Amino acid sequence: MLGDGGRSIVVAPMAGGVSTTALVRAAAEAGAAAFLPAGYRTPAAVEADLRELRGTGRPYGLNIFVPPRSAPDRAAVEAYRARLAPEAHRYGVELPAPRLHDDDHFAAKIELARAAVPAWVSFTFGIPDAGVVRALRRAGSTVLVTVTDADEAAQAVAAGADALVAQGGSAGGHSATTRPGDYTGDRGTADVVREVRAAVSVPVVAAGGVGDAADVAGLLAAGATAVQVGTMFLPAAEAGTKEAHRAALGGAGATVVTRAFTGQPARGLRNRFTDTYSAYAPVAYPAVHHLTAPIRAAAARAGDAGALNLWAGTAFARARPGTCREILDRLS
Residue 82 lies in a domain: yes
Distance CA 61, CA 64 (A): 10
Calculate the CA 328 to chain-centre distance.
19
Residue 121 lies in a domain: yes
Residue 4 lies in a domain: no
What is the reported pLDDT for 3? Answer: 56
Longest Cα–Cα distance in the chain = 53
What is the reported pLDDT for 1? Answer: 66
Q: Which residues of the chain have pLDDT under 50?
A: none
Distances (CA, A) of 312 to 56, 245, 248, 254, 255: 30, 9, 10, 9, 7
Backbone angles phi, psi at 60, to 5 degrees: -155, 165
The enclosing domain of 99 has a CATH number of 3.20.20.70
Residue 1 lies in a domain: no
Residue 159 lies in a domain: yes
Residue 65 lies in a domain: yes
Cα within 13 Å of Cα(111), Cβ side = 6
Distances (CA, A) of 308 to 121, 186, 289, 302, 305: 29, 23, 12, 11, 5
| Other beta carbons within 10 Å of 226 | 26
If one counts the domains in the chain, the total is: 1
Range of the domain at 157: 9-331
Residue 3 lies in a domain: no
3-state secondary structure the chain: CCCCCCCCEEECCCCCCCCCHHHHHHHHHCCCEEEEECCCCCHHHHHHHHHHHHCCCCCCEEEEECCCCCCCCHHHHHHHHHHCHHHHHHHCCCCCCCCCCCCCCHHHHHHHHHHHCCCEEEEECCCCCHHHHHHHHHHCCEEEEEECCHHHHHHHHHCCCCEEEEECCCCCEECCCCCCCCCCCCCCHHHHHHHHHHHCCCCEEEECCCCCHHHHHHHHHCCCCEEEECHHHCCECCCCCCHHHHHHHCCCCCEEEECCCCCCCEEEECCHHHHHHCCCCCCCCCHHHHHHHHHHHHHHHHCCHHHCCCECCCCHHHCCCECHHHHHHHHC
pTM, entire model: 0.96
What is the reported pLDDT for 87? Answer: 97
* 222, 214 Cβ separation under 8 angstroms: no
